[in-house]
Amino acid sequence: MNKYDLIDRLNKRFSALEAELQRLHQQLNDLPLLAARVFTLPEIEKGTEHEPIHQITVTATVGNHARELGLQHFQRLFIHHQGQNTSSKAALRLPGVLCFSVTVHQLSDCQNTIREINQLKTELEHIITIESGLPSEQRFEFVHTHLHGLITLNTYRTITPLLNPSSVRFGWANKHIIKNVTREEILTQLNKSLNSGRAVSPFTREQWVESISREITDIKRLPEKTKLKIKRPVKVQPIARVWYQEQQKQVQHPCPMPLIAFCEVQSEADLPKLGELSDYDARHIKHKYKPDAKPMKLLIPRLHLYIEADKS
């Protein structure tokens, strides 16, 4: 597919996404609201995107106002939808849940719209990250040339529908992404950076080449079968724990935006119980018991690359 076809598909898919989001907004606005609870988090200021997060103050909103905030949030896809001092590199988050009473016909219509929205989001992500053939550092320019001011992470995030949950409770997840990698995979990655012709701030081109070359030399010194891991911290994220009484089952969902709960309720007793999201304070986190992991030694800090260390 040539470049012009790709750009045409990008624009058409995005226009279709905006139309479907507007359709969902209207559908949900027409449904009887049973309950709504959303939690506003502080927006991340420009220049602070990579600073560690130790505390997050949560502001809860309930009822019709929560519904309005939630429905608006699904359509907040551009930089101009947020404050002037808010970072465009950090996605907007509004955890919570909106609960609506539905008939069978209304449920089917809403589910179809959400399915179409999520499909379009997936296609847009595939066009930008895969079909464009661009490395991550060049995608920003590609996207903003054709969809100026688009916040891609907000665009990629899919909407999560629930059906007849018994309760929805909220919390925080603080974890690492851990991935096993081979010596050859790391060398391929480093050589790609070396040959890209670009430096990473605050390095000059010469300093960057020298740094990458040193890393390549260090990796080449390792035995071929060395066990390497990338252990990258993920910033604390709001989550929802959804309980289904009839199935005796709990499902945990990431919750960067409101979940949509469709409820075929017969009485007040069938209404889902909604929990609160408490303020986050890293000092008061209680970790569940985990068996001791194998000791690791940090090898390349910027890649979060570790080598399994001897216990001796």
CA angle, 66 then 69 then 73, to 5°: 135
Parallel, antiparallel, or unpaired for β 96-101 and 259-263? parallel
115 φ, ψ (degrees, to nearest 5): -60, -40
pLDDT per residue as tens digits for the range 22-65: 999 999 999 999 999 999 998 877 776 667 788 899 999 999 99
pLDDT tier at 295, thresholds 50, 70, 90: confident
Instruction: Specify whether the CB–CB gap between 60 and 119 falls below 8 A.
Output: no
What per-residue confidence (pLDDT) applies to 100? 96
Measured CA to CA, the distance from residue 165 to residue 266 in angstroms comes to: 14
pLDDT per residue as tens digits for the range 131-174: 888 777 778 888 888 888 888 888 999 999 999 999 999 999 87
CA–chain centroid gap for 217, Å, is: 35
Higher-confidence position of 90 and 209:
209
With the C-alpha atoms ordered 51, 56, 59, 62, is the resulting torsion angle positive or negative? positive
pLDDT tier at 290, thresholds 50, 70, 90: low
Interval 298-306 mean pLDDT: 87
Please give the model's pTM, rounded to 2 decimal places: 0.78
- For the chain, which residues make up each domain, given as ranges? 1-171+235-280
pLDDT per residue as tens digits for the range 184-225: 889 988 888 888 777 777 788 888 889 989 999 999 999 888
What per-residue confidence (pLDDT) applies to 85? 66
pLDDT tier at 81, thresholds 50, 70, 90: low
Instruction: Specify whether the CB–CB gap between 253 and 240 falls below 8 A.
Output: yes
Strand partners, 254: 239
* Lowest-pLDDT range of 199-213, 219-233, 298-312: 298-312
Does residue 288 have a pLDDT over 60? no
Neighbours of 229 (CB within 10 A): 19
Instruction: Specify whether the CB–CB gap between 118 and 160 falls below 8 A.
Output: no
Q: Kindly calculate the radius of gyration of the chain based on its CA atoms and give it in whole angstroms.
A: 23
| Tokens at 252, concatenated | 């945990």
What is the dotted CATH code of the domain comprising 1-171+235-280?
3.50.14.10
* Coil, helix or strand at residue 125: helix
* Coil, helix or strand at residue 161: strand
